[in-house]
Amino acid sequence: MNNNPHLRRAPWMDYKDPSILMITLVTTNRQPILGILKGETIERTKLGQAIAEEINRIPTYNGAESIEIYSYVIMPDHVHILLRVHDRLPKHIGQYIAWFKIKCTDACSALTGGPVSETMRPFAPEYHDRILKGKNQLSHMVRYIQDNPRRLALKRANKDLFRIRQNQLINTLPCTVLGNIFLIEHPLRQVLQCSRRLTQEQIDNLKAYCLREAADGTIFITAAISEGEKQIARALREAGFPLIILLEKGFPAPDDPHYSYFKPQGVYFEACAAGKLLLVEPHAEVLERADIVAKTEAKVGHIPHNTQRYRFVAMNMVAEMMAIS
C-alpha cells in the first residue's frame, strides 16, 4: 500500500490520464485565513488573493501545460478547484497539487516576512478529489463552486437547522438528526413506502396521492429506498413540501474531523435552509429493538439481521413508529 498521501486516491483511476477533477484543499486546522464572508460574497485576505493567483499559475508548472482551470472558489477555510487534464500528464496529478501547496506556503512566508512552521502552513496535508464522469456533472459542479459563498451565508444564518443533534428521542427511538426538528411534531404525518414490485403507473398514481396529501398539510416520512420512494420524495421536494428522510449511517461520527462541517448536499441543502427537511438516523441499536424486530419479522418472516433486506424493512418499521402521534 502506498503511504504517500498524494497517491492514496481512487484505486481504479490513473491520475495521469485525461480527466475532469474537483480538488478540495482545507486550511490547517480549518482556520478561516483565506477570506471573510461579507453578505453572500467572500472578501479575500492577502493570503487568499495570493492563493487565487497561484491557482491560475498551475498550468504553467513544468509538465502541467495540459491542465485547464475551469473554475475555483476561495472560501475562508477551504478551496475548491475544478480542473481538466486534456492530455496525459508526465506525473500524478497529486504532484502538481503538492507543488501548488508549496507555492502557497512560500506566499504565506513572503506575507509574514519569515519561515512558516508546519502548523502555520496554509493547507492541511492531503486533499480530496472528485472525479467527474456523468452527463451534466461539469455544469452542475461549476454552479456548485460559484454558489459556495451563498451557501455559507445560508448556513450561518440558519445555524440551528444545520446542527447535528445527538441522542434525540423520537417516539422513544434514539436518533441523530439534522434539520427542522419541529417537523416530527407536526400532527399530520404519513409514511411513504413503496414496494419494489410497483409498476410505473402505480408509482405515478401514488405520487399524485402524496402530492395532494402534502398540499393538504401532510408531512411524509420515508427512507427513500425503493425506486418509487425516490421518485415520490423527489417530486415532493421539487414541489416545495417538507420531508422527513430516514438515513442509515448518514452522519459522520462525532470524533470524525468532518463532523463539525457536515451539511446536506445538493437540493437537500436548500430544503434544510428553508426549514423543510429533517434528516433522521436511528441509532444502530434501534433496528435490534424487540418491537422493531417483531414488526419486521411479522412482515417478512425471520431473516438474518445483517442482510440489506432486513435493514430496509426495519427502517420502514421505524418510519411507521415515527408517524404515530
Q: How do residues 19-28 score in pLDDT, each as one tens digit?
A: 999 999 999 9
Q: How do residues 121-134 score in pLDDT, each as one tens digit?
A: 999 998 999 898 87
C-alpha cell at position 176: 441523530
Please check whether residues 152 and 283 belong to one and the same domain.
no
Please say if the pLDDT value at position 311 is more than 50.
yes
- Cα separation, 200 vs 215, whole angstroms: 22
Please check whether residues 296 and 192 belong to one and the same domain.
yes
Q: Look at residue 202 and tell me if it is in a domain.
A: yes
Q: What is the mean pLDDT of the chain?
A: 90
Residue 60: DSSP 8-state: G
E strand intervals along the chain: 19-26, 35-38, 41-44, 67-74, 78-85, 128-131, 165-170, 173-179, 189-191, 219-222, 243-246, 277-282
Please check whether residues 282 and 181 belong to one and the same domain.
yes
Q: What is the CA radius of gyration of the chain?
A: 23
Q: Look at residue 179 and tell me if it is in a domain.
A: yes
Q: Look at residue 3 and tell me if it is in a domain.
A: no
Q: How do residues 73-119 score in pLDDT, each as one tens digit?
A: 999 999 999 999 999 999 999 999 999 999 999 999 999 998 888 88
Q: Look at residue 197 and tell me if it is in a domain.
A: yes
pLDDT at 134: 72
Please check whether residues 308 and 185 belong to one and the same domain.
yes
Q: What is the DSSP string of 168-216?
A: EEETTEEEEEEE-GGGGG-S-EEE----TT--HHHHHHHHHHHHHHHHT
Please check whether residues 175 and 315 belong to one and the same domain.
yes
pLDDT at 22: 93
Closest listed residue to residue 196, CA positions, set 119, 309, 112: 309
The CATH number assigned to the domain holding 46 equals: 3.30.70.1290
User: Highest mean pLDDT range out of 42-51, 158-167, 169-178, 299-308?
Assistant: 42-51
pLDDT, greater one: 198 or 133: 198
- Cα separation, 71 vs 267, whole angstroms: 21
- CA torsion angle for 19, 130, 237, 253 (degrees, to 10)? 170
- Cα separation, 174 vs 191, whole angstroms: 19
Please say if the pLDDT value at position 5 is more than 50.
no
Pair type for strands 173-179 and 165-170: antiparallel
Determine the structural domain holding residue 238 and report its residue range.
159-322
pTM of the model: 0.67
Please say if the pLDDT value at position 7 is more than 70.
no
| 315 contacts 218 by C-beta, under 8 angstroms | no
Please check whether residues 62 and 109 belong to one and the same domain.
yes
pLDDT at 203: 96
